[in-house]
Amino acid sequence: MRGKDLLSVSDLSGEDIRLLISNAVDMKAEGRLSLLDGKILALMFEKPSLRTRVSFEVAMQQLAGHTIYLSPAEVGLGKRESVSDVARVLSRYVDAIAARTFSHQTLEILASYSGVPVINALSDLEHPCQALADLFTIYEKKGELGGVTLAFVGDGNNVAHSLLLAASLTGMNFRFASPAGYGVQERILHLAQGYAVESGAEILCTEEPRLAVSGADVVYTDVWASMGQEAEAEKRHRIFAGYQVNSELLSLVKEDALLMHPLPAHHGEEVAEGILDSLSSVVFDQAENRLHLQKALLAQMLGGLEIPLTGYR
């Protein structure tokens, strides 16, 4: 996958994902590796960030590379300067671009004009780096992906889209529970269903959270109103009130089930107070694993890294 863009999980195959997880296992064990000496990654963010920015910056430092952070005010993407011009200018300076944008279309334009790889660091459609790190975390805890059942309770947002695609590519069962009108996009669902035919994954979409989590290996939730949807927060709070992940809902999962959330979390809303501090919660392992998975991703995209499948079984 050297030199390719990563705008969507669908840019990868199931084997690509397994290789990234294998490499992330080795990266986590090795720590610092001088694989990207002299390489520069531009971080161009239209939205605020904690985990994404820090994990990418630390990843490049631990691989002996460098980052340049470009804030919204400095670039004015599509306002002060056209997206196409920004892409062509940055391509002359850096080796890759990680962009965090409001619109997925902005990413697509950026990639079409860029002469260097573009990584989706979050858009309104997908969050592939988060989903890939989540699968790495599940593999760490469960020792496998195929046949594992992940239940996502909440909004059909960017994280849900990327998780659905990643699960269907790797043979994980994906159950999704949301209120009517707040499910995943039909195009994403149709794409995932095609992958599931080949991988053996099972996909279930329902309005019943209890049905979705019953016997699940992993329960996953996210905020009800994502960045850019703040005006809808009160309305969404009413609509999603019955979709809170709480002790009653978690009583239906397997005894060793994992609880996941990409953070930031609204405690007392999508998750009951104290739930993310329970023994089943792996949310901070998820956060740490953003670093290791992104190191594997950057090493492959910028260095052509090919580590044998020693970590993934």
- How high is the pLDDT of residue 225? 85
Give the pLDDT confidence score for residue 3 in this predicted structure: 59
pLDDT, position 307: 42
pLDDT mean across residues, the chain: 93
pLDDT beyond 90 at 312: no
Give residue for tokens 């670039």: 75
C-beta of residue 72 within 8 angstroms of C-beta of residue 102: no
Give how far Cα 211 sits from Cα of 7, 193, 206, 208, Å.
32, 20, 8, 5
pTM attached to this predicted model = 0.94
Domains and their CATH numbers in the chain: 9-126+290-301 (3.40.50.1370), 130-286 (3.40.50.1370)
Over residues 13-43, the pLDDT tens digits come to: 999 999 999 999 999 999 999 999 999 999 9
| pLDDT band with cut points at 50, 70 and 90 for residue 1 | low
Neighbour-count burial of 34, counting CB atoms closer than 10 A to its CB (0-12 exposed, 13-18 middle, 19+ buried): exposed
CB 114 within 8 A of CB 140: no
The token pair at 168 is 């269907």
Query: 60 by DSSP, 3-state: which?
Result: helix
Is the pLDDT at 309 greater than 80? The verdict is no
Q: Examine the pLDDT at 81 and tell me if it is beyond 50.
A: yes
Report the percent of the chain where pLDDT is more than 90. 88
The pLDDT of residue 310 is: 37
Give the full edge-to-edge strand order of the sheet including 40-45: 66-70, 40-45, 96-100, 118-120
Model pLDDT for residues 168-224, shown as the tens digit of each residue: 999 999 999 999 999 999 999 999 999 999 999 999 999 999 999 999 999 999 999
Instruction: Indicate whether 145 pLDDT > 80.
Output: yes
Write down the H helix ranges in the chain. 14-30, 51-62, 72-75, 83-90, 104-113, 128-142, 158-170, 186-199, 209-213, 233-239, 247-250, 283-303
Degrees (nearest 5) of the Cα angle 64, 66, 72? 155
pLDDT in tens, 106-115: 999 999 999 9
For the chain, give percent helix, strand, coil, nearest 5: 45, 15, 40
Q: What is the torsional sign of CA 274, 280, 285, 287?
A: negative
Q: Check whether 78 has a pLDDT greater than 80.
A: no
Binned at pLDDT 50, 70 and 90, residue 74 comes out as confident
Residue 123 has pLDDT above 50, yes or no: yes
